[in-house]
């Protein structure tokens, strides 16, 4: 394989070794990486090795001689070289640059390392490194690799005197590195993130080259799987799922792919029918049963009728929702994208007036699809409007308050990976949260504050919003005001474009592009729907009284007409179904409860409801 086809980060190191005196490497630093052996460009055997081995090979690409001596250092082990004295004798290194007699050095034998020099004093560590990097008398240039470099300090913003001296010595090393055989002595710092180091060490330092290692892309995963998963060569039938398997491992590191393979072989030994994709599901979610696969087809066929019985007056919204949900259940959502199989099952954006059934439709979906409303996980986004609100959802980073607790959203998905996510009033969320949602909608995964990858590819995500319906603002006197932007007197055809325009004006194009045409605008509760809701509420209330109190409630037609007239009043219609619910509680449930108590109604009694002189009356029969 041609050198130009090496991973970009390896190309950078190969190009700038000897040119830059300092490298800072961050990102996917604990993985295993491809290294292509010397051979023809058409067919170079690849091996997967750890960071130390890659660095050693990149700095010593000549076949017959070493270009660089090598020494590694980390807070736990001290100075060492697991590749033996050929690349640098640690005992001689420590004795030479610590100004200490060799027999006084604290060496320890280890099966991985030829020699180990454990130095607990970080100032001594930094002095040794500085003395080595600035040494002009060496026969060969040296590369000192400081693994887990950020673990030498507690906080990059608040260094104690010893920590400050450590990085001051490293800065001197970077600036004053000696040039040997036309190449700089080199310092390599390996960290999780650049900002784990004090900024003054690398900011505006022309000697430093910062390099990020990404997670394996599709080509990298394909190379690893072809090398390590011999099942694809031994069983031609598996080749049919190869591309799907590679797509669905998006986000996994090479080490995780190796673990996944080991898990697959273990499970196959116990159950020969175990499939590779099933093993992937177990690896990601901890369980094999996929609730989307167990949804009854007849339930999907009747889904629209079932939802219309519960969500009244929103036939357009229900029909469009069902079409999208059918794609989600069949796994066809996002198939037009290159890696659609990793995106969430589906994305819906419910918009429209308050109380029109947006949340109710979501709960009804969860009940019909999964048999339980609790599989709808709801977040009120008005609670996440502050600056660090994203930490509440996704978890605080290490060292911050709440780190151990994790994020509310990521914890919920770990517990219920097959679910419907409802984000109410999404327009009130802090912008930093919307940036995180972009990754979820695009990649179907998120890394929480504890570094764990959480997968959203088996969720149906629903956003709700009142944008375009009302506008809240502060007037010139400092008072908070609400302005109604649309009214129940307008037709749905007039309301729909106003709401969609308001949504498009509020959200970034990147967010809208991922939602696509799945914006569903709910209508106001119209007069006919209001009457149906009233009748439904009366039946529901009377049914509960019969079940709980064993009382029969007889309601005359004029009572229903009385509440239907109240339900279409402007102040009630403005609040939608929620307004009708409040009306029924105030004008029907409360008087009925009071009558049952005062009349001493008991089990088996019948209470009739009538209208007398324009007022609701109850009578015990």
Quick check: 328 pLDDT over 50? yes
Q: What is the pLDDT of residue 185?
A: 96
* Single pTM value for the model: 0.72
Residue 190 tokens read as 């390996």
Mean pLDDT across the stretch 296-306? 86
Quick check: 104 pLDDT over 70? no
For domain 3-213, the question of CATH label 3.40.50 is answered with: yes
**Other CB atoms within 10 A of residue 306 CB:** 16
Q: Comparing 34-48, 156-170, 311-325, 529-543, which segment has the lowest mean pLDDT?
A: 34-48
**Residue, of 133 and 301, whose pLDDT is higher:** 133
Quick check: 314 pLDDT over 60? yes
- Dihedral of the CA atoms 536, 542, 546, 549 (nearest 10)? 140
| Spatial distance between the Cα atoms of 282 and 289, rounded to a whole number of angstroms | 9
Quick check: 45 pLDDT over 90? no
Task: Give the residue among 601, 531, 535 at the shortest CA–CA distance from 618.
Answer: 601
Kindly list the distances between the CA atom of residue 121 and the CA atoms of 31, 77, 111, 162, 542, in Å, as whole numbers in the listed order: 29, 13, 24, 9, 78
Quick check: 272 pLDDT over 80? yes
By percentage, how much of the chain surpasses pLDDT 90?
44
User: Quick one: pLDDT band at residue 132, thresholds 50, 70, 90?
Assistant: very high
**Residue, of 331 and 316, whose pLDDT is higher:** 316
Residues 6+ apart with CB under 8 A from 590: none
Mean pLDDT across the stretch 559-587? 87
From the candidate CATH numbers 3.40.50.300, 3.40.50.1860, 3.80.30.20, 3.40.50.970, the one assigned to the domain spanning 305-521 = 3.40.50.300
| Spatial distance between the Cα atoms of 356 and 361, rounded to a whole number of angstroms | 9
Do 208 and 175 contact (CB within 8 A), yes or no?
Answer: no
Do 616 and 587 contact (CB within 8 A), yes or no?
Answer: yes
Do 363 and 373 contact (CB within 8 A), yes or no?
Answer: yes
Top mean pLDDT of 102-111, 205-214, 270-279, 362-371 is at 205-214
Spans of all domains in the chain: 3-213, 218-285, 305-521, 527-620
Q: What is the pLDDT of residue 202?
A: 92
Q: What is the pLDDT of residue 295?
A: 82
**Residue, of 523 and 475, whose pLDDT is higher:** 523
Residue whose pair of structure tokens reads 């055809």 in the numeric block:
493
Do 486 and 448 contact (CB within 8 A), yes or no?
Answer: no
Quick check: 39 pLDDT over 60? no
Q: What is the pLDDT of residue 12?
A: 94
Q: What is the pLDDT of residue 44?
A: 57
Domains 3-213 and 527-620 share a fold: no
CATH level 3 topology of 527-620: Helicase, Ruva Protein; domain 3 (1.10.8)
Quick check: 259 pLDDT over 80? yes
Q: What is the pLDDT of residue 485?
A: 87
Q: What is the pLDDT of residue 4?
A: 57
User: Quick one: pLDDT band at residue 403, thresholds 50, 70, 90?
Assistant: low
Q: What is the pLDDT of residue 299?
A: 80
User: Quick one: pLDDT band at residue 336, thresholds 50, 70, 90?
Assistant: very low
| 3-class secondary-structure state, position 459 | strand
| Spatial distance between the Cα atoms of 207 and 77, rounded to a whole number of angstroms | 27
Task: Give the residue among 601, 608, 590, 585 at the shortest CA–CA distance from 548.
Answer: 601
- Give strand pairing partners of 350: 464, 520
By percentage, how much of the chain surpasses pLDDT 70?
92
Quick check: 52 pLDDT over 80? yes
Largest Cα span, the chain: 110
Q: Comparing 64-73, 194-203, 398-407, which segment has the lowest mean pLDDT?
A: 398-407
| Spatial distance between the Cα atoms of 70 and 436, rounded to a whole number of angstroms | 40
User: Quick one: pLDDT band at residue 130, thresholds 50, 70, 90?
Assistant: very high
Residues, the chain:
621
Q: What is the pLDDT of residue 178?
A: 96
Q: What is the pLDDT of residue 318?
A: 94
Q: What is the pLDDT of residue 148?
A: 94
Residues 6+ apart with CB under 8 A from 167: 126, 153, 159, 197, 198, 201
Q: What is the pLDDT of residue 37?
A: 66
| 3-class secondary-structure state, position 218 | helix
Q: Comparing 37-46, 246-255, 338-347, 529-538, which segment has the lowest mean pLDDT?
A: 37-46
- Give strand pairing partners of 474: 480
| Spatial distance between the Cα atoms of 381 and 425, rounded to a whole number of angstroms | 6
Q: What is the pLDDT of residue 233?
A: 84
Q: What is the pLDDT of residue 103?
A: 59
Q: What is the pLDDT of residue 507?
A: 92
Quick check: 155 pLDDT over 50? yes
DSSP result, 47-76: EEE-HHHHHHHHH---SSS-S-EEEEEETT
Q: What is the pLDDT of residue 98?
A: 85
Q: What is the pLDDT of residue 257?
A: 96
> 413: burial class by Cβ within 10 Å (0-12, 13-18, 19+)?
buried
| 3-class secondary-structure state, position 33 | strand
Mean pLDDT across the stretch 388-405? 75
């Amino acid at each position: 394989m041609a050198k130009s086809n090496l991973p970009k980060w390896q190309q950078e190191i190969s190009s700038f070794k000897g040119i830059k005196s300092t490298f800072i490497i961050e990102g996917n630093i604990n993985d295993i990486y491809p290294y292509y052996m010397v051979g023809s460009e058409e067919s170079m055997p690849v091996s997967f090795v750890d960071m130390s081995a890659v660095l050693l090979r990149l700095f010593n690409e000549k076949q017959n001689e070493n270009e660089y001596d090598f020494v590694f250092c980390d807070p736990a082990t001290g100075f060492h070289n697991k590749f033996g004295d050929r690349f640098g004798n640690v005992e001689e290194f420590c004795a030479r640059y610590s100004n200490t007699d060799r027999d006084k050095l604290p060496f320890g034998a280890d099966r991985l390392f030829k020699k180990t020099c454990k130095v607990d004093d970080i100032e001594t560590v930094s002095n040794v490194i500085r003395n080595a990097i600035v040494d002009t008398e060496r026969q060969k240039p040296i590369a000192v690799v400081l693994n887990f470099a950020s673990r030498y300090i507690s906080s990059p913003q608040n260094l104690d005197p010893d920590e400050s001296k450590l990085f001051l010595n490293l800065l001197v090393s970077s600036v004053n590195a000696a040039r040997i055989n036309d190449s700089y002595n080199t310092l390599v710092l390996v960290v999780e993130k650049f900002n784990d180091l004090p900024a003054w060490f690398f900011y505006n330092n022309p000697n430093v080259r910062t390099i990020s290692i990404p997670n394996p892309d599709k080509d990298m995963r394909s190379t690893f799987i072809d090398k390590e998963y011999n099942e694809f060569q031994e069983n031609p039938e598996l080749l049919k799922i190869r591309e799907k398997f590679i797509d669905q491992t998006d986000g996994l590191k090479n080490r995780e792919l190796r673990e996944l393979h080991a898990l697959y072989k273990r499970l196959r030994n116990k159950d020969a029918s175990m499939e590779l994709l099933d093993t992937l599901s177990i690896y990601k979610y901890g369980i094999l049963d996929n609730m989307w696969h167990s949804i009854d087809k007849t339930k999907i066929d009747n889904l629209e009728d079932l939802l219309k019985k519960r969500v009244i007056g929103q036939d357009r919204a229900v029909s469009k929702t069902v079409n999208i949900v059918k794609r989600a259940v069949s796994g066809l959502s996002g198939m037009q994208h290159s890696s659609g199989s990793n995106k969430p099952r589906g994305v819906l954006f419910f918009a429209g007036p308050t109380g029109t059934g947006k949340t109710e439709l979501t709960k009804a979906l969860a009940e019909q699809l999964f048999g339980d409303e609790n599989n709808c996980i709801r977040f009120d986004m008005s609670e996440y409007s502050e600056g660090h609100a994203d930490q509440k959802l996704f978890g605080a980073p290490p060292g911050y308050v709440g780190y151990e607790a994790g994020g509310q959203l990521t914890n919920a998905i770990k517990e219920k990976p097959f679910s419907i996510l409802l984000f109410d009033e999404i327009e009130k969320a802090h912008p930093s949260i919307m940036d995180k949602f972009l990754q979820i909608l695009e990649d179907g995964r998120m890394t929480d504050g504890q570094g764990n990858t959480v997968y959203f590819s088996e969720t149906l995500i629903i956003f709700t919003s009142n944008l375009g319906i009302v506008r809240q603002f502060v007037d010139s006197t400092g008072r908070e005001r609400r302005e109604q932007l649309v009214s129940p007197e307008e037709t749905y055809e007039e309301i729909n474009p106003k709401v969609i325009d308001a949504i498009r004006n509020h959200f970034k194009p990147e967010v809208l592009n991922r939602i696509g045409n799945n914006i569903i605008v709910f209508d106001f509760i119209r007069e006919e729907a209001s009457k149906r809701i009233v009748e439904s509420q009366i039946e529901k209330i009377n049914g509960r009284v019969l079940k709980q109190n064993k009382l029969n409630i007889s309601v005359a037609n004029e009572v229903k007409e009385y509440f239907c007239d109240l339900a279409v009043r402007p102040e009630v219609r403005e609040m939608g179904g929620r307004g009708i619910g409040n009306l029924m509680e105030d004008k029907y449930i409360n008087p009925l409860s009071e009558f049952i108590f005062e009349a001493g109604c008991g089990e088996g009694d019948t209470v009739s409801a009538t209208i007398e002189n324009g007022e609701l009356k109850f009578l015990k029969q």
